[in-house]
């Protein structure tokens, strides 16, 4: 039997009808049963990154974000590309874990759903 793995799934889009969020849920449905997904939908709750608040007992949404990442074995990201880069809300979330390091060495899948012929390649590249 394959080892059970906890995967944190994140959509980089805050839009209600987001194609990336739909894609993320489709991937969760189609995944093999040993992958247990949890959706992180707190991007909109995180305060703007501020190094002055980047302390162990930081803001509650930041503590929650760090704990969710820490307890996952891997990460799935489905994100749009905005202005040739990662959407601000997702970049903000990444800034909060630079110093605490919960994402270090976690296998991560990045997918960008975009109508652009380049398919969100720059958002993908900046996350790899």
Ligand X SMILES: Cc1cc2nc3c(=O)[nH]c(=O)nc-3n(C[C@H](O)[C@H](O)[C@H](O)COP(=O)(O)O)c2cc1C
State the residues that interact with ligand X by CB under 6 A: 13, 15, 18-20, 80-84, 113-116, 118, 120
Question: Closest approach of Cβ 85 to ligand X, in Å?
Answer: 7
Residue whose Cβ sits closest to ligand X: 116
Nearest to ligand X of 10, 62 (CB atom):
10
Question: Facing residues of 6 across strands?
Answer: 36
- Smallest gap from Cβ 116 to ligand X, in A, equals 3
Q: Which is nearer to ligand X, 62 or 77 (CB)?
A: 77
Rg (CA), the chain: 15
Cβ 85 vs Cβ 112: under 8 Å:
no
How far separated are the first and last CA of the chain, in Å rounded? 30
Give the C-alpha separation, 2 to 24, whole Å. 22
Distance CA 119, CA 113 (A): 6
CB of 109 to ligand X, least distance (A): 16
- In the complex with ligand X, the residue whose CB is nearer, 33 or 83, is 83
């Amino acid at each position: 039997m394959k080892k059970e793995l906890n995967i944190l799934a994140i959509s980089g889009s805050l839009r209600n009808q987001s194609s990336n969020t739909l894609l993320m849920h489709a991937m969760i449905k189609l995944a093999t049963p040993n992958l247990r997904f949890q959706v992180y939908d707190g991007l909109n709750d995180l305060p703007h990154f501020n190094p002055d608040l980047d302390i162990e007992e930081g803001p509650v949404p930041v503590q929650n974000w760090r704990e969710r990442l820490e307890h996952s074995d891997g990460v799935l990201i489905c994100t749009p590309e905005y202005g040739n880069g990662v959407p601000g809300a997702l970049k903000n979330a990444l800034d909060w874990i630079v110093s605490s390091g919960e994402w270090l060495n976690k296998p991560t899948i990045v997918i960008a759903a975009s109508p652009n012929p380049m398919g969100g390649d720059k958002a993908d590249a900046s996350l790899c």
